[in-house]
Amino acid sequence: MVVPMFGKNQSNTINPDEVYRYIIQNIGFELPFEMWLQIDSAFSEIWNNKIGIGGYFYWDEFPKMMQKSLFEQKILISNDIVTKVTFLILKYIEKNNGFLN
């Protein structure tokens, strides 16, 4: 996942391994790595290509976009899991000076 950032880190990206560690530490249940890869891929696609730099979105709508993207790829993951992981990714981005204001 490549997420544009302001300033905090030299390459202006968030390391997906760091995001994964944050998710695992905060999710409260076991998340299989393969499931994480599918969610991460869908999140990256939406964040980088649909929302774009400086784009606006509603937090409540992002999990719905994620679920739709996964469904279109014929990947079925519980809505609760997608929502929880999506919100944790957004919190991580916000915590690390991402584009969320």
Whether residue 8 is contained in a domain is answered as: no
User: 43 with 55: CB under 8 angstroms?
Assistant: no
pLDDT at 7: 36
For residue 66, the Cα-to-chain-centroid distance in whole angstroms is 9
Whether residue 100 is contained in a domain is answered as: no
Whether residue 61 is contained in a domain is answered as: yes
Whether residue 9 is contained in a domain is answered as: no
pTM of the model: 0.77
CA angle 74-51-63, nearest 5°? 45
Q: What is the mean pLDDT of each run of 10 residues along the chain (101 residues)?
A: 40 76 93 92 86 74 92 92 94 74 38
Whether residue 31 is contained in a domain is answered as: yes
Whether residue 7 is contained in a domain is answered as: no
Count structural domains, the chain: 1
Residue 58 lies in domain: 16-95
